[in-house]
A = this chain, B = another copy of it.
Amino acid sequence: MTNKRNQIKGFCRNVDEKKERLKKAFGYILKDKGFGNLGVNKVSLEAGISKNLIYRYFGDFKTLIEQYSEGIDYWTSQAEKRDYSEMTEKDVLKNLLGEQFNYLILNPEMRQLVLWGLHESNYNTTSLLKKRELFAERLILQKADKRFDGRIDYRGVVSVLMAAVYHLAAYSSVQKANFCGIDLSQDKGRKRVLDAINLILDNIYDLNEDKKKATNDNE
């Protein structure tokens, strides 16, 4: 009985280890060669695990990609697990944008997932984007809709700030050339980006309050 149990446990642990090894191999190729060089054969070869086992463990290759992506994406792997309940939605947004910027700089694999989503629409890139959307809706956007109440297109502004974070984090990790004269390869330059984002956000919230006051005064 004990023996049988151990065998099953041993077998299970082995499967989990192999699944982890396959995901790591996927991540290694993503980081090293970029999103354009992924394929089930390459992952199998890199992991030293037969292709058949990928299908047995994950069902199909896209499920491996999906599980890997959720484990590495800032939204699904980091932000989803945080407790934002004590923060205002403005502070949550500032926090998300700043942390995602720093996370992307440290994480070439997630940067590749972002670039992949700008290169093509496929099951994986679209599925990940939809998960981020759901999370952003729940955490910030729907609350902010009520606060801004049609006075300002808050979602338009947030889309600009969010997009800038993706682009500038990648730029600052890859290029030494300046961007608008700012050296983004240095902490000082990166801080200027985050300060500008916070300035824009503070401004938009202030403008909303001014508009709200003006409407109330007129009533």
User: A182 to B204, alpha carbons, bound, how many Å?
Assistant: 18
18 A-B residue pairs with CB within 8 Å: A34-B36, A36-B36, A36-B37, A117-B174, A126-B177, A130-B177, A133-B177, A141-B181, A153-B196, A156-B180, A156-B195, A158-B180, A159-B196, A160-B161, A163-B179, A164-B167, A200-B200, A200-B204
User: A119 to B175, alpha carbons, bound, how many Å?
Assistant: 9
Is B168 within 8 A of A159, CB to CB? yes
Q: Which residues of B contact A195 (CB under 8 A)?
A: 153, 156
Within 8 A of B (CB), among A119-172: 119-121, 125-126, 129-130, 133, 136-137, 141, 152-153, 155-164, 166-168, 170-171
Q: For residue A128, which residue of chain B has the nearest CB?
A: B177
Q: Which residues of B contact A177 (CB under 8 A)?
A: 121, 126, 129-130, 133
- The interface residues of chain A, by DSSP majority, are classed as helix
Is B203 within 8 A of A207, CB to CB? yes
User: A164 to B168, alpha carbons, bound, how many Å?
Assistant: 9
Is B34 within 8 A of A119, CB to CB? yes
Contact with B along A76-108 (1 / 0, CB 8 A): 000000000000000000000000000000000
| 3 tightest Cβ-Cβ pairs between the two chains A and B | A156-B196, A36-B36, A163-B167
User: A133 to B176, alpha carbons, bound, how many Å?
Assistant: 12
Q: Which residues of B contact A174 (CB under 8 A)?
A: 117-121
